[in-house]
Amino acid sequence: MTDREHASMPAEYAEYICFQDYSPQDELRRESLLGLGNGILFVRASAPEQRLTRESLAGAPETSPRYPGLYRAGLYDTVTGEVAGHSVRCTALPRLPDATILAARRPGSAWLGTDTAELLAYRHELDMLRATAVRSMTLRMDGASTRIEERRFVSAAHPYLAVIRWRITACDWSGPLEIADGIDSDVRNALVERQKAFTGRHLAGIAHRRESDGVLLVSATLAGQPIEIAVATRLHVCGSPENSMHAKWKKREACIQSRIIPLRQGEPVCIDKVVAVHTSRDTTAPNPIKGVLACVRGTAEPDTLELAHHRAWLPAWRQVRVDCADPETCRALNVRAFHVLQTVNTQSALEDMGVPARGWQEGYYGHVFWDDLFVLPEVGRNEHAHRRGALLYRYRRLDAARRAAQSAGFAGAMYPWRSAATGDEETPLYQFNPLDAHWMRDDTRLQRHVGASVAWNVWRYVEVSGDMEFLRQRGAEMIVEIARFWASIARLDESTGRYVIEGVIGPDEYHNAYPDAAYPGLDNNAYTNVMAMWTLPRAEKTLTRLDASARDALSIRIGLTADEPGEWANIARKMTVSFRDDGIIEQFDGFSGLRYARDPRSVVQGNARVDWALESQGDSVDRWQIVKQPDVIMLFYLLGETRLRLLLEQAGYRFDEAAARRTLDHYLVRLTHESSLSKVACAGALARHDSNLSLRYFMDALGTDMTPCSGSAHEGLHLGALAGGLDVIVRRYAGIEVEHGHLVVEPAWPPALPAIALSLQFRQQRLRIAADAAHVAITADIVNSRAASVFAEGTMHKLGPGETMAVRNRCPEG
């Protein structure tokens, strides 16, 4: 943030993002960063007057690209596109009609906006404490100055409502003012350039209506799914000394109405726009038209709506907000907590939806990847039920995962790399290379490791929450079916006596095939094999945690035989993990035989993605030891070195501390960090090896999506990277893990990292964590119902309500 942006910040600086200058080049990113959601709806922070100010320019080139976006979480449409001469199916999160349109002007003049008037003052901010976006601008046109102050929120109390509140003041003039509001259904998914061949228009059967009371209504159906959508708006005007006059017009697919109100110099007029969205999927209003009309007509006044929103938001926010001795670090951490909470929360937990990699925006089509591996620990830090809701999304798609495994010739459940509504594989067959306008084949659907992340999340949820009911009814079935998949995909190599997993792709993504191979896939990817080794015995332990009746019922339901658990354990003990002669873990068989570049970026010119650049040069990243994001390093981040070494030792491999450090060093110099998850994983992996280097990666990771005019934050925020930063704080720096029903605390706090305090929930008990270079202090909330079990410094402690214990930091400086 610039010095100008720092100026005049509120006292609660760490809970605000503020821009005090208008930057057309950065507007799309800010729309995403300052966007608001409530777990059901997401609204980009675009200027509501933009739709009409664009018309006022009368064909002049647009100087400030903006992209109003309204999205319904978990809603997907399926369309086809023409790609590389083939008709390709694609499932995507559709952009809904733009219901934010609101504009003002003096009659006969252009609509007021940053492109049409002289901008005298400007401010745009996100108030995380109130989950509100605030914008103010003073504009001068034809010698008259007008101030527009905007406050908007997506209601945390009412899942289908959003509100835009304007306060307009004539600074140095009096007279009539024309106000226009509307809904634009002439929308298509066009935010991500590389996706345009797939997506396009998702709305069909569009109908507009204006009710006698001024309510505007747009209804439609999705182009590729039998789902109905309705969007309605209602305008409230107060502070005007006279009755307003109405007019209306419709242009193409936009339904817009206007009214004239008198303004007196210095006397503000308040204009509030209430927006409601319903779909035929909503169980509370299966008739979406009736649902939205009831919402906009039956809701309270805007002041009451805003108060209800604040009261619903604040308790949840207090549980996730972070305190830090350094305001800038504190703000960066709070941005992460904020965007995770407004995506996965109490309202989303009641819906059937997963955790989208880029939030509920158009990036990655709104698909669900493995990012819940990074997100759910942060989600569960606030409330166990939020985490449970996201896991139910995976359980409801267990049958789809079974069908996928069967179709590929395997047993058990094979979860897809990219998921949407049905749980089927949604990875497009091609990805667009913008450097040479060429469509590259995309084989990343061979990332079979997603099942391991599902099992990991289920296991950790039960450990943290103690929710044995979930384990009995749903969790155990998922873990067991995932173990069955690993047992079936693993093949016994008679020559070595070990099991191998062939034809897969690891988290790295840059290596999809061997050079010049006819088919995609690699053998014995280290991350995949080790996580299979973790999952297989975990399934056996899961069964032992069930009582006899629950275990018998599960065995009968899924046809589990008595010898399967023993076979899982045998496969885990004999799983292949490839090592170089120097003890370094091989990313996959043959990785070390690829070409090596001392600087991974040196093989291409400019800042383009390495895989795109090499492909455009007639080369392939498959030929190089160049890694997009941590693959082997992910094992250190996820498991920690101690657990990783134990797994390897149980399989008969020697892997000491020196080999671990050589492995980390080996891959760090081969990374391009072209994934937002990359530096998060490196920070966590290095926490106990080199605190200084770990902290450098961590501080760099805090810049994800926060740097102006860079990256792809405008397409949607990287939820995994945002949440992962907080996971590093809790699991790797504070050293707080959960094992066997108690907390294990082994701090590795970097000495240069400022003191940080945050809250977490452990088995329905609230704890406060305060960490610094000297120690980690854990305080149990006075209202807790029982003591929490904490293992630290070789001793088991019982931490009763209101009690505090401190654990010394033993972080190596590195």
Residues annotated as part of the active site = 509
Let me know: does 230 contact 288? Beta carbons within 8 Å.
yes
Within a 10 A sphere around the Cβ of 82, how many other Cβ atoms?
10
Tokens (6 digits) for 158? 């009412």
Number of C-beta neighbours around residue 403 at 10 A: 14
Q: Measured at the alpha carbon of residue 408, what is the angle toward residues 407 and 410, in degrees to the nearest 5?
A: 100
CB 57, CB 64: distance < 8 Å: no
Task: Indicate the residue type of 814.
Answer: G
Structural contact between residues 112 and 141, judged by C-beta atoms closer than 8 angstroms? yes
Q: Edge-to-edge strands of the sheet including 736-739?
A: 736-739, 742-745, 788-792, 795-799
Q: Strands 742-745, 788-792: parallel, antiparallel or unpaired by DSSP? A: parallel
Q: Which two tokens stand for residue 63?
A: 């100087």
* Closest-CA residue to 182 (of 156, 194, 204, 164): 164
Other Cβ atoms less than 10 A from the Cβ of 696: the count is 17
- How big is the CA angle at 218 (ends 82 and 33), to the nearest 5 degrees? 70
Nearest to 192 by CA among 713, 672, 606: 713
Per-residue tokens: 610: 């390495």
Q: CA 413, CA 477: separation in Å to the nearest integer?
A: 10
Cβ atoms 393, 429 nearer than 8 A: no
DSSP letter (8 states) at residue 191? S
Torsion of CA 682, 685, 686, 689, to 10 degrees: -160
Contact (Cβ atoms closer than 8 angstroms) between residue 749 and residue 773: yes
Q: Token match 């329905």: residue?
A: 764
How long is the chain? 814
Which runs of E-coded beta strand occur in 535-584? Answer: none
Listed in sequence order, the residues at least 6 apart from 600 whose beta carbon sits closer than 8 Å to its beta carbon are 610, 624, 626, 627, 669, 670, 671, 672
Tokens of 25: 């080049």
Distance of CA 455 to the CA centre of its chain: 19
Which residue has tokens 């091989």?
586
Instruction: Say how far apart CA 104 and CA 113 lie, in whole Å.
Output: 9
- Residues 510 and 675: their CA atoms lie apart, in Å, by 11
CB of 659 within 8 A of CB of 648? no
Name 290's Cβ contacts closer than 8 Å, sequence gap at least 6: none
The one-letter amino acid code at 224 reads G
- The C-alpha atoms of residue 804 and residue 359 are separated, in whole angstroms, by 37
Sequence-distant (≥ 6) Cβ neighbours of residue 282 within 8 angstroms: 160, 288, 291
Written as six digits, the tokens of 659 are 């080999």
* CA distance linking residue 118 with residue 140, whole number of Å: 5
DSSP state of 730: I
Asked if 28 and 66 touch (Cβ cutoff 8 Å), the reply is yes
Distance from first CA to last CA of the chain, Å, rounded? 30
Burial of residue 168, with CB atoms counted within 10 A of its CB: 0-12 exposed, 13-18 middle, 19 or more buried: buried
Tokens in use for 736?
A: 């707080």
Calpha distance 578→584 (Å, rounded): 9
